Chain A
Amino acid sequence: MKFPKFISERMPDGKSILAVYAVIVTLVYSWTLFTSFYKLPSWLFYLTLPQILSVYAYSFSIDLIESIIALAGILLLNFTIFLFLKNREEFQSRSIILATILLGTSMLRLALFQNYEDINAFLSGELLWWAIAIPLGLILAVFAPRIKMVRSILEGFAERATVFVYIYIPLSLISLIVVLIRNLY
């Protein structure tokens, strides 16, 4: 399929998309693994090993869906509000900045406001947090990639993160099968 020149000159190559996806996967799956360590001691108290592995199977399945949604969102942004930016070279670092700031804000808020007593603080600050995080993400996504050093750091990180795609995605596919089997039989 041949895209119109306007689109094709803005379309990132597969390798760049994979690199961005690798960063998203690293963030999303690492967060789940990290938070699971809070829960693991209590799971060990009342769940058997197959049950704990099943909980991880559900978690990785959800993470797979989440990471695809996040990538789709980033691509959508690149083809809408960032459409005016021609520079394909900046796609990777721009997307990594966006993903990191948006997912990072979400993670930080989840870490700060966990309990029933935190509900009011979670709600009252929500608008302000996002009102800062979203414009900050957009501004940095536009300007930071223009700095060569930033670009090279982010691309280096993405390159190293690609290994997680090859670990987590097969694991997620196995997890999906486990979830399917547990629910069909």
Chain B
Amino acid sequence: MTKISRRDFLKLLGAASVGALASERVLSLKTTDSDKPNIIIILMDAFSARHLSMFGYPRQTTPNIDAFAEYSTVYHNHYSGGNFTTCGTATMLTGMIPWKHRAINYDGLVRAEFVHDNPFTMLGSDYKRLMFAQNPWPDRLVGQYYEDVDRFLPPSAYSLLDSDPLSALFGNDHAIASVAMSSFLLPIQGGNAPVGSSMLGYWNKSRVLNFADGQKSPRYSKGIPEAMNMGYLIPYLNEDVYEGLYSELTQLESNSSPYFAYFHLYSPHFPYRPRNDYLKLFRNDGFVPVSKPIHPLSVGLHEDYLNGQRDMYDRQIAQVDEEFGRLIARLQESGVLENSYLIFTSDHGELFERGFAGHGFQFMYESVLHIPLIIHAPGQTKREDIHALTSNTDIVPTILSIAGKDSSPDFDGRVLPGFGGQEDKDRPIVSVVAVDNSSFAPLKKAVITMRKHEFKLMAYLGYENKYEKSFELYNIETDTEELDDLSTKDETTLSAMKDELFTYLDEANKPFARN
């Protein structure tokens, strides 16, 4: 018999503990039908990974999320497929790049042929499926397969007022009824058009605005938070919304069947209205963001204004971090996390630089595309860090893999490393913004980014008359602030990345070539 040395024994012990950890994860993946894990997505709208303290942001914005990460899998280079809600969320829910799913316009919808590529439909009826989006745009996207959702909460659930009482009447035709009612006939504000219904529309607008105006709270001296996309205005309190989440999850727990719950929460999205106890946070803390040149496509906002907005955004993040921490503690206490995967992510980030504040338009810099992704698996006690480039197209393939369900050949996304997927170092990550392009036509007016290895290429298509550059190229690893444009300095990389991107784009444009 071979004698084992002390060194070999220690190696064996190490290997055994790694194996035990690995088998724990594998066991959690290969569950029987009767013991499938629950899957919870908590998506916070407009949450930039660049503002998370764990990713090196100088401010301590997210102590509770950081604590949650200590027993979860953290993705350091996770990207959204788009820079605003509809596009980013559709990318996540379809597992496809925007140039395929085509929900590329602000109010957009997913192409009919891909509507059934989504977690609700594909998880099937053996999962109890809950959907709650405070933001009306994802509400409309999921409304395209309303019948595959068991509990569909309206955007105003757990809010202070039901701002759209009529849409709920048209459940079976949710998406189109929502376009008609909320965007056209009964919008509260915005939408680049007058309200389409002269009587009911006026009544609804007046009712909601007067209600919202009357909502004064001594705890919110800057005003009550409002979910306010084009058309909507829903006053809400994060305290109530997170309480509602907990209540929904405990109700789902009481069922015998596994569940999938998707919560798309509005905060920290603009308007930033943190509670009073957060208003002084980070004041005079000495943090000075890097100054960046004004972008020709921006409105040229002054840096003082941008920094003021950034302060408010950080405070809003700090408040939702507190709510998140409280929720996680309660979920742990009540045992919800014992058999549940909890996925924390966002649909896109937020930007306060180059003369622009917010998201959308043609801005595709890191702060708006780099989003958090933290996944806690049942029983996970240790942190795992994944540095591979990942995309929010990967979420649904991963969910389906966890649930033991079939994937779709239409997916561009892959199962995430750490949950059965393998890191592919040569994988390009593509993000698209094409709000000025018809969803039925080839992409000719768009900004497309491709992140590959350490580089990021930004291609401006159709903006020649407004912006002299057609390309920007950055080395994200050495130039995290994207200040040193390499497009004129490293023509080899630029050329290789351009060729690759346009090969993909030509392929993606083919189905629309006739339009």
- The residue among A36, A106, A126 with the most chain B CB atoms within 10 A of its own CB is A106
B177 near A: Cβ within 8 Å? yes
Contact status B170-A183, CB under 8 Å: yes
Interface size on A, residues (CB 8 A): 45
Binary interface encoding of chain B residues 160-183 relative to chain A, with 1 for a CB under 8 A from any of its CBs, else 0: 000000100011110011011101
Give Cα A175–Cα B312 distance, bound, in whole angstroms. Answer: 47
B109 near A: Cβ within 8 Å? yes
Give Cα A58–Cα B60 distance, bound, in whole angstroms. Answer: 49
- Contacting B at CB under 8 A, from A95-145, are 103, 106-107, 109-111, 114-116, 118-119, 122-123, 126
Interface size on B, residues (CB 8 A): 47
Contact status B189-A59, CB under 8 Å: no
Contact status B209-A122, CB under 8 Å: yes
Binary interface encoding of chain B residues 196-215 relative to chain A, with 1 for a CB under 8 A from any of its CBs, else 0: 11111110011001100100
B255 near A: Cβ within 8 Å? no
Contact status A35-B189, CB under 8 Å: no
A28 near B: Cβ within 8 Å? yes
Contact status A46-B176, CB under 8 Å: no
**Choice from B112, B184, B199, B206 contacting A126 with Cβ under 8 Å:** B206
Contact status A59-B196, CB under 8 Å: yes
**Choice from B201, B213, B440 contacting A110 with Cβ under 8 Å:** B201
**Choice from B108, B195, B210 contacting A35 with Cβ under 8 Å:** B195
Chain B residue with the shortest CB-CB distance to A106: B202
Contact status B205-A110, CB under 8 Å: yes
Chain A residue with the shortest CB-CB distance to B172: A183
At the interface with chain B, which of A37-45, A78-86, A149-157? A37-45
Binary interface encoding of chain A residues 32-62 relative to chain B, with 1 for a CB under 8 A from any of its CBs, else 0: 1001101100111111100100110011001
A68 to chain B, nearest CB (A): 11
Contact status B190-A62, CB under 8 Å: no
- Contacting B at CB under 8 A, from A143-185, are 179, 182-185
Binary interface encoding of chain B residues 54-68 relative to chain A, with 1 for a CB under 8 A from any of its CBs, else 0: 000000000000000
A18 near B: Cβ within 8 Å? no
- Contacting A at CB under 8 A, from B386-440, are 437-440
Contact status A32-B180, CB under 8 Å: no
Contact status B173-A182, CB under 8 Å: yes
Chain B residue with the shortest CB-CB distance to A28: B198
Contact status B193-A66, CB under 8 Å: no
A69 near B: Cβ within 8 Å? yes
B115 to chain A, nearest CB (A): 12
Residues of A within 8 A of B437 (CB): 45
Residues of B within 8 A of A43 (CB): 179
Chain A binding surface, main DSSP class = helix
Chain A residue with the shortest CB-CB distance to B112: A48
- The residue among B106, B183, B209, B210 with the most chain A CB atoms within 10 A of its own CB is B209
- Contacting B at CB under 8 A, from A60-82, are 62-63, 65-66, 69-70
Contact status B193-A62, CB under 8 Å: no
Instruction: With A36-B196, A46-B439, A114-B191 as known contacts, state yes or no: A58 contacts B185, CB within 8 Å.
Output: yes
Contact status B179-A55, CB under 8 Å: yes
Instruction: With A35-B193, A46-B439 as known contacts, state yes or no: A55 contacts B198, CB within 8 Å.
Output: no
Contact status A36-B209, CB under 8 Å: no
Residues of A within 8 A of B102 (CB): 46
**Choice from A38, A70, A114 contacting B199 with Cβ under 8 Å:** A70
Residues of B within 8 A of A109 (CB): 202
Residues of A within 8 A of B183 (CB): 39
Contact status A182-B172, CB under 8 Å: yes
B228 near A: Cβ within 8 Å? yes
Contact status B176-A51, CB under 8 Å: yes
A27 near B: Cβ within 8 Å? yes
Contact status B184-A55, CB under 8 Å: yes
B365 to chain A, nearest CB (A): 25
Contact status B190-A103, CB under 8 Å: no
Residues of A within 8 A of B189 (CB): 114-116, 118-119
Residues of B within 8 A of A47 (CB): 109, 176, 179
A180 to chain B, nearest CB (A): 10
Contact status B170-A116, CB under 8 Å: no
Residues of B within 8 A of A59 (CB): 180, 184-185, 196-197
B105 near A: Cβ within 8 Å? yes
Give Cα A75–Cα B139 distance, bound, in whole angstroms. Answer: 40
Residues of B within 8 A of A35 (CB): 184, 193-196
Give Cα A115–Cα B192 distance, bound, in whole angstroms. Answer: 7
Contact status A116-B190, CB under 8 Å: yes
Contact status A36-B200, CB under 8 Å: no
Residues of A within 8 A of B440 (CB): 45, 48
**Choice from B181, B184, B199, B438 contacting A39 with Cβ under 8 Å:** B184
Pairs A-B, 7 closest by C-beta atoms: A38-B193, A58-B180, A182-B173, A46-B108, A106-B202, A46-B105, A55-B180
14 other A-B residue contacts (CB within 8 Å) besides A31-B198, A39-B184, A58-B181: A42-B105, A54-B173, A54-B176, A55-B180, A59-B197, A65-B200, A103-B199, A107-B198, A114-B195, A115-B190, A119-B189, A122-B205, A123-B213, A126-B210
Can you offer 8 A-B residue contacts whose CB atoms are under 8 A? Answer: A32-B185, A58-B176, A58-B180, A69-B199, A106-B199, A122-B205, A182-B172, A183-B171
B-side residues, CB < 8 A to A, are 102-109, 112, 166, 170-173, 176-177, 179-181, 183-185, 189-202, 205-206, 209-210, 213, 228, 233, 437-440
A-side residues, CB < 8 A to B, are 27-28, 31-32, 35-36, 38-39, 42-48, 51, 54-55, 58-59, 62-63, 65-66, 69-70, 103, 106-107, 109-111, 114-116, 118-119, 122-123, 126, 179, 182-185
